[in-house]
């Protein structure tokens, strides 16, 4: 890996880390390419990308490089940073192992979303975490029709619906009562947001499924949000189609921590005394 792309969240911590990282990489004869995901002009030729930021920064990069197979090392400079699992003090030890080809790739399923108005495609995108359809600025519930593989599933009244990947199960859908799904599981989670009927519970369906959500309310105001990054208006009888994307995001797994360790430390899931090896 000779050409290293860097995406930086512009904050004080990131700038300080970058000032040390650039000479460290240069000493190892690495070519450094700075990348600004906000420009959305595609990714230059690089062998890997280091993301210095929070989960939002990683999500913006994921949309930008979807289908490129470029490996990403994500370094947490945000608050929770569940996706950006590598802390800054473990950056150089991880990079050393990566350059020695001693690392594991973590291929994450992504979601492909198409917003249709009649037969016209308003937007297509590939996201890592979730597609959220919700009432937006409306002060009332909206009505949606949900279909899976062409079969009618439900007419849902509520604040909205989250369609998430297994990776996204620890994001918005978790705070809305959805389950935690290990990211290696190929699945799609449908989680209603504040449903009018409390028995409308989250459901996990196969990743081979194709989901269609149709807005049945006439009011203006509902929106579609893609990975919390982009927001688009959603009108009556507009369709949102979601399926598993053809390509996966190529994350580099931390060599010094596990997924379950991140669950315990960052989400306090099952937190408690860690048993010794003998136990």
pLDDT of residue 269: 77
- 55 belongs to the catalytic site: yes
160 & 234 share domain: yes
Q: Which two tokens stand for residue 172?
A: 């918005």
Q: Are residues 94 and 121 in the same domain?
A: no
pLDDT of residue 271: 62
Q: Is 84 in the same domain as 132?
A: no
14 in a structural domain: yes
CA proximity to 138, closest of 179, 193, 83: 193
Among candidate residues 213, 247, 245, 231, the one with its CA nearest the CA of residue 123:
231
Place of tokens 């290990």: 182
Q: Phi/psi at 244 (nearest 5 deg)?
A: -65, 135
The 10s digit of each residue's pLDDT in 117-131 is 988 999 999 999 999
Q: pLDDT, tens digit, for every residue of 174-214?
A: 999 999 999 999 999 999 999 998 888 999 999 999 999 99
Domain identity same for 97 and 188: no
How far, in whole angstroms, is CA 133 from its chain's centroid?
A: 16
The single residue of 36, 55, 130, 246 carrying the catalytic annotation is 55
pTM: 0.90
Residues 126, 81 share a domain? no
pLDDT at 41 over 70: no
């Amino acid at each position: 890996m000779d050409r290293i792309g860097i995406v930086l969240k512009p904050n004080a911590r990131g700038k300080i880390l970058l000032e040390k990282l650039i000479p460290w990489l240069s000493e190892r004869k690495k070519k450094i390419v700075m990348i600004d995901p906000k420009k959305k002009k595609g990714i230059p030729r690089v062998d890997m990308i280091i993301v210095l930021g929070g989960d939002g920064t990683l999500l913006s990069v994921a949309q930008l490089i979807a289908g490129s197979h470029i490996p990403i090392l994500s370094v947490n400079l945000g608050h929770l940073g569940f996706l950006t699992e590598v802390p800054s003090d473990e950056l150089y030890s991880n990079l050393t192992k990566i350059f020695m080809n001693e690392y594991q790739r973590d291929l994450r399923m992504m979601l492909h979303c198409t917003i249709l108005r009649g037969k016209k495609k308003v937007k297509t995108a590939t996201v890592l975490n979730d597609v959220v359809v919700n009432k937006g600025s409306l002060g009332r519930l909206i009505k949606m029709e949900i279909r899976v593989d062409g079969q009618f599933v439900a007419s849902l009244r509520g604040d909205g619906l989250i369609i998430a990947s297994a990776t996204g199960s620890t994001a918005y859908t978790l705070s809305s009562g959805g389950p935690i799904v290990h990211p290696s599981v190929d699945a799609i989670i449908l989680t209603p947001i504040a449903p009018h009927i409390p028995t409308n519970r989250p459901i996990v369906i196969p990743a081979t499924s194709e989901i269609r959500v149709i807005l049945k309310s006439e009011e203006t105001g509902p929106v579609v949000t893609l990975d919390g990054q982009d927001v688009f208006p959603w009108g009556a009888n507009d369709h949102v189609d979601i399926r598993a994307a053809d390509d996966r995001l190529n994350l580099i797994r931390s060599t010094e921590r596990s997924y379950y360790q991140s669950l315990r430390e960052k989400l306090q899931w099952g937190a408690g005394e860690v048993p010794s090896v003998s136990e």
